[in-house]
Every structure is written in C-alpha cells, then in structure tokens.
Amino acid sequence: VAVVVHGGSETTFGYDRLVIATGARCKRPVSVPSAQSPGVFCLRTMEDGFAIEAHIRDKKPVSVLIVGGGYVGVEMADALARRGMSVTLCGRGVLGTIDPSLGEIVIEELGRHDVHVINASVTGVTGQSDDLGVSLSDGGIEKAEMVLFAAGVEPSTELSRGAGANFGESGAIAVSRGMETSVAGIYAAGDCAETWHRLLERSVYLPLGTSSHKQGRIAGENAAGGAAEYQGTLGTQVVKVFDLAVARTGLSDREASDEGYAPLTVEVSCPDCAGYYPGSHQMRFRLTADSRTGQLLGAQIVGDWRAQVAKRVDVLATAIHHRMRVQDLEHLDLSYTPPLGTPWDPVQVAAHSWMKA
C-alpha cells in the first residue's frame, strides 16, 4: 500500500493482512460551482463540523436551507433551530426510513419548532454569498444565507478498487461474513463495505455506526488469525428530533412484502407510562410480522424522547434476533413501574393488537 502522509511524501508499507476502513462520503445531488462554495456545506467529517461552526460564528447567517430529510438533515434542523436560525428542510419526504404515517408525526414536530419543510428535491445551487439559494424540482427558488447538503452517503472505495476487490450491487465493497473481500487477506469493514442482513440473509448497503463497530472488531480479529463471523444487522436505528425519539428495527411492511413475506402490520397508539402519571404521552407503534407464521419482521416507534423508545425497539431487535413469533412477545417478562411504563409494555400491547387484527 502506498500512503501519502498529510502534506508529506509517499511511503510504501507492505502487509500480510489489510483492513480497509475508508468509510463513506457525502453524496452531492447537484454540482456546486466553486464560486458558490462559501456558505455551502456538507457534514461528514470533524473538519466539516468545524467549518460549519466557524461560518456560523463569523458570518452569523440567520437562515439555512438543508438539503435532505434523513437523519443528518433532521438532526441539523434541530441543532440549528436551537441556535435561533430560520431553518428550511428540502427533500422528498422526511425520514424515509419510517412509514409515512409516522413520518407525519415527525413533520409536525419539525413544524412545532418552526422548521419549514418543503417536499421537493433540489436541482441546483443558485446565486452566491448574499444571494445564495437553491432551485427546486417544482420550479421554485428558495433563498438562504447558508446551504447544507445532507443527502446521504456513498462508500469510499478507491483503495479497494485499486486492490482488485469485488463490489456489490450497491457499489460498496463485497465482503464475506468474516468481513473478507474477494481478495484473500484483504478485509473491509464499516461504511465502505456491505453489511450482512440477518433477516434478508444477504448483503445490503446500510451504513450505520453500530454495524461498523461490530464489523471492525470482526475484521480485526480475523486479520489477526481469528474466525469470527458477523451475525448480521437488523437495521436497528434511532434518531432524536426535538422532543421525539424515532426508532425502527427489521423490515417495514413494504420491504417485507418485496422479500416474499406475507406481512401484516398494525399501528397502535398507547401510553408510554401509566396514563394517570404526570408526563404521560402517547407513543405510536407499528409492528410487522408474517401473517402465515407470526414471525416478527419489524417495528417502528415514535414517542417522547424520555419514553425509552430506542430500547423498546431494542427489545424487538433482540426478539427478532431470536426469530420470535409475535404470539410469544406476551410471555416476555418486561419491567414495569407506573412512571416508566405500563403493566403490559407497549411492545406487548402492539403484539396483542396484531393478534386481534
């Protein structure tokens, strides 16, 4: 491998085993002429973060337009609105990782905090400096003093391409469950590589920090002579948006259907703790299982950020890991106290609702 040390000369290192962990980089859905660059940002690296921070400190922009309604988009909408900026979020929907009925709750929460959501894609950056803006697929132009691209990531794969490794359909590096690429002795892990999906039983591109950590350990162990095997992702994920936590695990109804399952999905509202207890909120829960076998396939929850949404999804992730049936969820001995839950946890309330559907 040839390594160029920052600002220095090229050095070549040999290796017995190589682990590629080159990560991913921001997608830019439109090209941005360099003349327009001041005030236009991505957010991926620490340097990106420092640049955004410096720009806000020095230029004091009062408005920002965020391109993309995924996790980074909504988290930055939250962060910048808290700093007092006027925030507009442009994208084809918000949080495409959850179903639209739950996405509506997130859009309401954004609205409650004065984040303006525009349901259109961005076709280009217009103007510059004091006249900066973006053109939209609906023909409009939206002005803002700062533009932030949060339109997803793509794997950084140049190094592995040079090494002759194969790629999956996703464009990420194809790896075995031992995290080895198609080239013996070369491993890849993290956002540059594909991820084994435990339910789909095939590789997908699902760049998440949790999977990256697991893959990195396995690649490292195997590069050092081990024989560890990645047990697979369920796509478990959570994001906090103002006062909401939004979490999912497994497959959505549509994803399950596309994979040949016969999914049945129920959506229930239930209190996140005893209804009489101060601070009780409704939690919205979608539960998906195969209607023929009852096999649990997925869950999505939106609720107050103090309502243990993330770890309730984790109970389901643990259940799906063990290929539990929805009928068996009611047998789980889950904890209860009035300030923090209900005698049948929402996980079980959703299961009861599914069984009646």
Contact positions with a second copy (CB under 8 A) in 45-74:
71
Shorter beta-carbon distance to a second copy: residue 158 or 328:
328
Contacts with a second copy, 321-340, as mask; x by CB under 8 A? xx-x---x-xxxxxxxx-xx
The 3-state DSSP class for residue 241 equals strand
What are the phi and psi torsion angles at 109 (to 5°)?
-65, -40
- For residue 101, give the amino acid letter: S
Shorter beta-carbon distance to a second copy: residue 116 or 177:
177
Shorter beta-carbon distance to a second copy: residue 59 or 202:
202
Beta-strand ranges (E) seen in 207-281 are 237-241, 244-250, 263-271
* C-alpha dihedral sign at 143, 144, 146, 152: negative
Say how many residues make up the chain. Answer: 357
Does position 279 bind a second copy by CB under 8 A? no
Which residue in 173, 245, 256, 350 binds a second copy (CB under 8 A)?
245
Does position 306 bind a second copy by CB under 8 A? yes
Which residue in 43, 87, 102, 319 binds a second copy (CB under 8 A)?
319
Does position 232 bind a second copy by CB under 8 A? yes
Shorter beta-carbon distance to a second copy: residue 127 or 152:
152
Does position 308 bind a second copy by CB under 8 A? yes
Which residue in 341, 349, 351, 354 binds a second copy (CB under 8 A)?
341
Which residue in 19, 81, 247, 283 binds a second copy (CB under 8 A)?
247
- Burial code (b: 16+ CB inside 10 Å, e: under 16) for 204-236 equals ebbbbeebbebbbebbbebbeeeeeebebbbbb
Least distance in angstroms from the C-beta of 92 to a second copy = 23
User: How large is the angle between the packed helices 309-321 and 346-356, nearest 10 degrees?
Assistant: 60
- Find the part of the chain contacting a second copy (CB under 8 A) among 4-12, 113-121, 128-136, 225-233: 225-233
Look up residue 34 and give its two tokens.
């360099």
Place of tokens 């594909």: 194
Does position 252 bind a second copy by CB under 8 A? no
Does position 210 bind a second copy by CB under 8 A? yes
- Find the part of the chain contacting a second copy (CB under 8 A) among 148-156, 261-269, 284-292, 317-325: 317-325
Contact indicator for 231, 210 with CB cutoff of 8 Å: no
* C-alpha dihedral sign at 304, 308, 312, 314: positive
Alpha helices per DSSP H over the chain: 46-59, 71-82, 100-112, 158-162, 209-223, 253-258, 309-321, 346-356
Does position 295 bind a second copy by CB under 8 A? no
Shorter beta-carbon distance to a second copy: residue 6 or 322:
322
CA dihedral (227, 228, 229, 235) in degrees, to 10, reads -160
Does position 203 bind a second copy by CB under 8 A? no
Does position 204 bind a second copy by CB under 8 A? no
Size of the residue set binding a second copy (CB under 8 A): 53
Least distance in angstroms from the C-beta of 31 to a second copy = 31
Contact indicator for 87, 77 with CB cutoff of 8 Å: yes
Q: In angstroms, rounded to a whole number, what is the distance separating the alpha carbons of residues 45 and 24?
A: 10
Per CB under 8 A, residues contacting a second copy are: 71, 198, 208-214, 217, 231-240, 245, 247, 249, 305-306, 308, 310-315, 317-319, 321-322, 324, 328, 330-337, 339-341, 343-345
